[in-house]
Amino acid sequence: MIKNHVSFQGIAGAHSEEALLLYAAKHRIPVVPEAQEGYFRELFAGIKKNKLGWVPIENSYHGTVVESVDLMREYEFEILDSYTHVINHCLAVNPGVKKSDITKAYSHPQALGQCAKYLEQSGITALPYVDTAAAARYVQDKKMKHSAAICSKRAAELYGLDVLEEWIQDSGENETTFLLVKDREHEIDFMGEIERGRRDVTTTVVFETKDLPAALYKCLGGFATNAINLKKIESRPARNDDSDWFFYLDFEGHPDDPLVRNALDELESFSKKVLVLGSY
């Protein structure tokens, strides 16, 4: 089987890489994680180049990763699968540094948000950085004595930091859901491994409503009349000249199912545009 180069956001040791490796091991898919240092725009550019990507879409405590939603609509990548990963945020410091020495902590904004109460109670100022693993590398490179990184245990080990505390996130059940995505024209050879044992199917669509009274109500009405369960809906600004909004929708079922097809037909009749991102 071919080695599949998969872009993830961050550098070696990032939670995204950790989740990708666990997912690949679970499905026995040979992957080569491709680090995309930078933010989500750099991640999606990397996916376009490598044809496969690993995208964080939602955190159980901090909510939807809206940058990913916006870029999924823009790039129109196909969703192949989803995977939920338990996040263990650690407070990591240079050797010899004690918690009482720490006044600042660097990490990705999502990680800082997930640890906000902990940082406030500890009297530590949160400072955003490009990603969790890069924050660990930065703290180590600068030999900081009064700053920590919030990162994975693996990142701390990779960059020579000591872990003072683990599981510092505010919620005991802190999970992030990732999407495995691909360029629509890219052919893959591992869908059999992914689909083996799959029972339930989720479909994701993005759509823009027509300029009609109660347009959103009418767009969603077909799902109610066809008894289709909606799992998630997110509204986002379309950022076009008309100042429109688009909607990101997850629901149970596959477009090949007659009832789902009925609901999608009704959705399309009240929408300017409907794009099915994937069924997985």
36-50, 107-121, 168-182, 230-244: segment of lowest average pLDDT: 230-244
Q: What is the mean pLDDT of the chain?
A: 95
Percent of the chain with pLDDT over 90: 88
In eight-state DSSP terms, residue 101 is G
From 36, 24, 13, 54, select the one nearest 153 (Cα to Cα).
13
From 154, 62, 155, select the one nearest 111 (Cα to Cα).
62
CA 196 – CA 218 distance, rounded (Å): 36
Write out pLDDT tens, residues 52-79.
999 999 999 889 999 999 999 999 999 9
89-93, 126-130, 190-194, 226-230: segment of lowest average pLDDT: 190-194
Q: What is the CATH number of domain 4-87+174-195?
A: 3.40.190.10
Which pTM was predicted? 0.90
From 190, 191, 186, select the one nearest 48 (Cα to Cα).
186
Write out pLDDT tens, residues 223-244.
999 999 999 999 999 887 666 8
Mapped onto helix, strand or coil, the DSSP state of residue 213 is: coil
Q: Classify domain 90-165 by CATH architecture.
A: 3-Layer(aba) Sandwich (3.40)
In the chain, the N- to C-terminal Cα span, in Å, equals 22
22-36, 177-191, 230-244: segment of lowest average pLDDT: 230-244
Residues near 237 by beta carbon (within 8 Å), at least 6 away in sequence: 243, 244, 245, 246
Q: What is the CATH number of domain 202-279?
A: 3.30.70.260
Q: What is the pLDDT of residue 199?
A: 83
Pairing mode, if any, of strands 104-107 and 125-128?
parallel
The catalytic residues are: 176, 178
Instruction: Answer left, alpha or beta for residue 227, where phi above 0 means left and psi between -120 and 50 means alpha.
Output: left
The CA distances from residue 45 to 42, 68, 81, 179, in Å, are 5, 12, 20, 16
Phi, psi for residue 115 in degrees, rounded to 5? -120, 20
Residues near 246 by beta carbon (within 8 Å), at least 6 away in sequence: 73, 206, 207, 208, 235, 236, 237, 238
Q: CATH 3.30.70.260 spans which residues of the chain?
A: 202-279
